[in-house]
Structure 1
């Protein structure tokens, strides 16, 4: 096995929170139980994907609020919330509220751009303003200003006998601004995140630069380095520029034969899309890593992107069952994590 560049400092996991449309409460309860399990196993963080008009978590803020009351230590994040679906001021209010309820454990990850399949939903999402909505990085800048507590108006103070007003988003949660993350898949977005004081979420998708060789790991490495260079040039303190990688890993150490067979089918179905760039932007997908924890650790140590990070949020496969997630998380925490130099967090 190649030598590790550095011990893994923080270990997290990412889930879509899949549910049966005929029994959505059960799926959300399963997600909460998975987060509780993650805390018991010593994971540092649990991250929620954000899905709209699908059978996954559409309101991660609400799920994080529920999870914050069932846990005491594990950090909770979104990876990522697409801001094109959000009113930045209202989102800032909700996140600050949940962060205070969680004791400062919330890590909001965001992205920008036109909402997915926008033409099918614009008439409901923005019936009067779809043509003038700004889906650029400016939306994330506005969101960050609101979270940081910058004034949003001149008006404040008392009006009447009991009504008192603030000129900033309330409640204000100190420290939340430093825990904002940006999900970047291109060098341009990584540079923007670094220069604007966001932490970096690097996942299993990248967009190569024109003429760049379609090597996922090398492209991810280059994006992470560009992020750090941009953060340094902007004067961001090194301790404020965290980077997390989010590949799909499926350890099979304690899996049953039936689980191993199911997992391999899942990987086999997804592998063809990793063979070549996809679409006009030449999107590249990372290969899912499956095998024993020792085998996966060896592949990660040889991965140029992994060599750049000290934090990970391994993505759980979309369509598995609750018992599968229990097995995978248990193997990650008890076998793969230690093989990467990680130590579980102490109980809260």
Structure 2
């Protein structure tokens, strides 16, 4: 199916299916606490020969998520690739097609951004959405910086600061701290010393996407929310068999220990889950092949940074729910943003989202919003 055909298919999807239990009688989790917020993450693939269709399909997926009762939809940046490179622009459009679902970035790599300009854009989209924006951020040099630096920062490439200090600047600007030493009237124009527009509640909805112990602690110390995904660092070189769930649990606890809100500090987990309850035989076969190709990398730390990847969870919703209940980190969070596989077709995403909302979510104790 083409992306354009996918858009037409998505427009024909009805409201939340009857399989979603709105009476709260779905089985509660065997361990941990009921899932409070259910979200999903997509990168919004598109055909470079027809990019508008892919962007439109992503908008329709977000609208479908709202109809299915999801609490949040998240976009991931894909610079110089055939995925959405400007999630904030797309989320501004999504804010006008939805009324309830929260809209987030997971994550915006800050090395590509000017903090002051980004603060203006974040506040603008937050106001357009009625206070539904959840910006997720990360620090560090842009990917493949040596190849892109002359186009991105032709005059300042060696002087750019890609540390946490860059993020602190953004947090201060979003909070309304001065960006200029001048405010008042000059001729017929009125100037503000802070970034305008200002969105009063936005600072409390800023997230940090981290995969290391230090990033978790830093996010907590600076009062951010914490996004933990399917990638973490196995930082102990003496551990011969690092366990992904144990590492992620350590990050969650370190974040909350450093956060002013303690155990009430917000954490969202972003694993890849692929329920197959309503999938066709062809879809189930494709999903199994996809997971099989990605599973070998989950066995041991990868590369000099010792990155650990979580195993993708595929199968009936009941089976996935049991695997999540056995996951040490999942048992200590009550928000998720399940990542959609990045290479599937539009009808696959419709099936997966429908099964997550109608089968998996209720099996985890979640109730659809709206």
Q: Give the TM-score range, shorter chain.
A: over 0.9
The match for 2:205 is 179
Match of 2:190 among 147, 160, 164: 164
Residues 272-325 of structure 1: CA deviation (Å, up to 9, x unaligned): 111110011110000000000000000000001111100000000001111100
1:201 aligned onto 2:258: no
| Correspondence for 2:301 among 257, 272, 277 | 277
Q: For the structure 1 residues 74 and 176, does the alpha-carbon distance in structure 2 shift closer, same or farther, using more than 3 Å as the test?
A: same
Q: Distance in 2 between matches of 1:299 and 1:79?
A: 24
Alignment of 1:167-246 (within 5 A): 167-210=193-236, 211-212=238-239, 213-231=241-259, 235-236=260-261, 239=264, 241-246=265-270
What pairs with 1:33-182 in structure 2 (closer than 5 Å)? Answer: 33-160=60-187, 162-182=188-208
Paired with 1:193 and 1:236, the residues of 2 have a C-alpha distance of 12
Deviation of 1:236 after TM superposition, in Å, equals 4.0
Counterpart-to-counterpart distance in 2, 1:242 and 1:296:
23
Question: Matches of 2:263 and 2:307 in 1, distance apart?
Answer: 30
**Unpaired stretches in structure 1, ≥5 consecutive residues:** none
- In 1, the alpha carbon distance for the partners of 2:309 and 2:235 equals 15
1:39-66 per-residue CA deviation (whole Å, 9 max, x = no partner) reads 0000000000111001111000100000
SS of the residue 1:79 aligns to: strand
Taking structure 1 as the reference length, what is the TM-score of the superposition?
0.96
C-alpha separation in 1, matches of 2:344 and 2:263: 38
TM-score (norm 2): 0.91
Please, which of 327, 333, 338 is the counterpart of residue 351 of structure 2?
327
2:342 to 288, 298, 318: 318
How far is 1:209 from its partner? 2.2
Deviations 1:74-96, CA, capped at 9 Å, x for gaps = 00000000000000100000010
DSSP 3-state at the match of 2:61: helix
1:4 Cα offset (Å): 2.6
CA contact (8 A) 2:233 2:306 kept: yes
Asked whether the equivalents of residues 257 and 263 of structure 2 are also in contact (C-alpha less than 8 Å), the reply is no
Relative to structure 1, the CA distance from residue 23 to residue 280 in structure 2 (aligned partners, 3 Å threshold; closer, same or farther) is: same
Counterpart CA distance in 1 for 2:181 and 2:146 is 37
2:235–2:306 contact (8 Å) kept in structure 1: no
CA distance in 2, matches of 1:102, 1:198: 21
Inter-partner Cα distance in structure 2 for 1:152 and 1:64:
25
Report the count of equivalent residues. Answer: 341
2:286 to 246, 262, 267: 262
Asked if the contact 1:4–1:340 (Cα under 8 Å) also holds between the matched residues in 2, the reply is no
Rounded Cα–Cα distance in structure 2 between residues aligned with 1:266 and 1:20: 21
In structure 2, C-alpha distance between the alignment counterparts of 1:100 and 1:71, rounded to whole Å = 14
